Structure 1
């Protein structure tokens, strides 16, 4: 599904705008050399434009027209940050291709046919000018899709070597019910208003009384309802950061069925009851997260090892020509009709909307 999604994404790329500045990238340019193998200008430009299109389609509305010139990490522009990520990804894909035989990986006839089909769809969906601006020849699109497919297969092969055994003890997730007495309220206009020191003292008295009553209640949630409060459920372990640290520490120290006293957090007072020392569903989910983390770490470590032994030469002059500020690239948006399994283009969706209005 992921591979097919990438192929469909590529078939919908459109380029618009004018190229200015330091010139266009030639297909025969060499952007990077990895262990003697050249990443040519067309591959570098097309993959960079493919990445640019994703950002401009989905994030430009939030980041504004100057998204590429805005400051990114370490004082670099956002364009510099993204382009560096693009280059690293390409270098890694070429290293994965170099090592694919280590995992007895080869593209199947079915995968090759799917790549050819997707490249053909892209070729038919875009005009000559647009394809030229993004180095989107049919051969180049096929090459990028080939690299993406190899990347997916090598990553899966590396992940398959990770340890998938996780004990309940290692992944154990406890469960609590808790009530929060917040240090802020919402006014009629929806604005957040912080309590005064006097109001906090009154709130503390209320919370302390609730804590005292909750300690002797057989049903924590029911008691909270009786007191006009709302009990919330949460699963956690000692490393949980999605809940206040003070609350996690207090609940983690309880025996099953135990209730905390008043716990002061940064944003309110809390009272909690530990309802389970091991929540089965949450623990199983945590196991999956641990396995995924191990798999990703193994992939990262493997590629880092390859990179340490690799000779990678970057041709900065070519990379400079790939400029996101001089060419706008967006995705052709498609949406499914709610009444059919067909996919509509923007124009078809607009026509259907006009028909409905008529």
Structure 2
């Protein structure tokens, strides 16, 4: 549903209520508080007979809404929620479903909330209740128990994600991950579109001029100039880029012709000729036939891919076996007429400081956008 219309904004007094959860502050600004508290106790999800309340989903969604409002509100304005409201709700419900299924299987991995977890969750939930007025709490259907439930789910997901991938092989050899890095500059010849939406196609003469410039850069770099200086002397609008690749990579962003030419080079060498591709003319230089930093990054990606694969394998099996139902009609009752925002000092009407929470109590997980369904690779 679209945000409150302009007429309603002028007629109704704008309300700004501080909303603080797990160490983050938000404000609620809207023409009026329209949240349907009458739905709060209704079951929006049933998983193998276990019901999850509408209010739990609503609270989770407001995390996501506030963060998206902070990142994109200034750019999209009133269009933000008319464009992305439905998709935000959909991905948030996928996240909630994942949390509930992971919780259902926590005993299989000896995962539970410690007394310390419970204490910190209780403190964070109480702080939430203390830092928000009754109008804000009512609009969300928020009670201490429901806020604590959200924090419990985030905490359990974090613990389960780590437990599921705990036995993943993290040993990656240099041979498996070795990366080369090249510097390159491209003189593009592909068709483009102008500001009016018209297709722009280069003439043969224009392409020939670009090829000549690329050749000048190649010759200067091969003669001892740095790639940066060689490019600047020919066309100061061009920049030198770099990219890394490995012999064992399953996919490449580089054109095969570029990769083949690069593989013939030693450190510091420039390719003998300009390389022609569908995208344009490339001048390439081998920066390092073995790049330790790029190799270390590749090792991390390989490990994360293994973790993501393991998590997906386990979770997908559980999801397939789950008896899951979702009340889509009730989900439609969650709208974006009330705009939740991250607070600034100027917006906050109280000076109360929000409390800190540890990651195990859900602060890290709870302060991530709930619209993002994370893989285990992101939850270490």
Give the C-alpha shift of residue 51 in structure 1: 2.0
1:60 aligns with 2:73: yes
2:63 maps to what in 1? 50
Pairwise mapping of residues 12-161 of structure 1 onto structure 2 (< 5 A)? Answer: 12=26, 14=28, 16-18=30-32, 23-70=36-83, 78-161=84-167
Give the C-alpha shift of residue 224 in structure 1: 3.2
Structure with higher RCO (Cα < 8 A, 6+ apart): 2
8 Å Cα contact 2:182-2:262 kept in structure 1: no
1:203 aligns with 2:221: no
Whole-angstrom CA distance in 2 between matches of 1:309 and 1:279? 45
Pairwise mapping of residues 1-358 of structure 1 onto structure 2 (< 5 A)? Answer: 7-9=22-24, 12=26, 14=28, 16-18=30-32, 23-70=36-83, 78-181=84-187, 197-212=204-219, 214-215=221-222, 217=223, 221=227, 224=230, 232-237=241-246, 239-241=251-253, 245=255, 248-257=258-267, 258-260=269-271, 261-265=273-277, 268-324=280-336, 326-333=337-344, 346=348
1:323-354 CA deviation, whole Å, 9 max, x = no partner? 22x322223235xxxxxxxxx975689xxxxx
Whole-angstrom CA distance in 2 between matches of 1:95 and 1:223? 57
SS of residue in 1 equivalent to 2:39: coil
Give the C-alpha shift of residue 114 in structure 1: 1.7
Give the C-alpha shift of residue 128 in structure 1: 0.2
Whole-angstrom CA distance in 1 between matches of 2:257 and 2:315? 40
Whole-angstrom CA distance in 2 between matches of 1:322 and 1:345? 25
Whole-angstrom CA distance in 1 between matches of 2:224 and 2:99? 59
TM-score, normalised relative to structure 2: 0.72
Unaligned runs of 5+ in 2: 1-19, 191-199, 352-380
Q: Once superposed, what is the RMSD of the aligned Cα atoms?
A: 3.2
Give the C-alpha shift of residue 6 in structure 1: 7.0
Over 3 Å counting, the alpha-carbon distance change for 1:207 and 1:47 in structure 2 is: closer
SS of residue in 2 equivalent to 1:38: strand
Over 3 Å counting, the alpha-carbon distance change for 1:264 and 1:235 in structure 2 is: same
Give the C-alpha shift of residue 149 in structure 1: 0.7
Give the C-alpha shift of residue 310 in structure 1: 0.2
Whole-angstrom CA distance in 2 between matches of 1:213 and 1:297? 47
TM-score, normalised relative to structure 1: 0.76
SS of residue in 1 equivalent to 2:40: coil
Whole-angstrom CA distance in 2 between matches of 1:223 and 1:67? 44
SS of residue in 2 equivalent to 1:318: helix
Over 3 Å counting, the alpha-carbon distance change for 1:227 and 1:29 in structure 2 is: closer
Over 3 Å counting, the alpha-carbon distance change for 1:232 and 1:50 in structure 2 is: closer
8 Å Cα contact 2:184-2:283 kept in structure 1: yes
Over 3 Å counting, the alpha-carbon distance change for 1:251 and 1:152 in structure 2 is: farther
SS of residue in 2 equivalent to 1:69: helix
Whole-angstrom CA distance in 2 between matches of 1:303 and 1:198? 57
8 Å Cα contact 2:26-2:340 kept in structure 1: no
Unaligned runs of 5+ in 1: 71-77, 185-192, 335-343, 350-358
1:38-62 CA deviation, whole Å, 9 max, x = no partner? 0112212211222222222322222
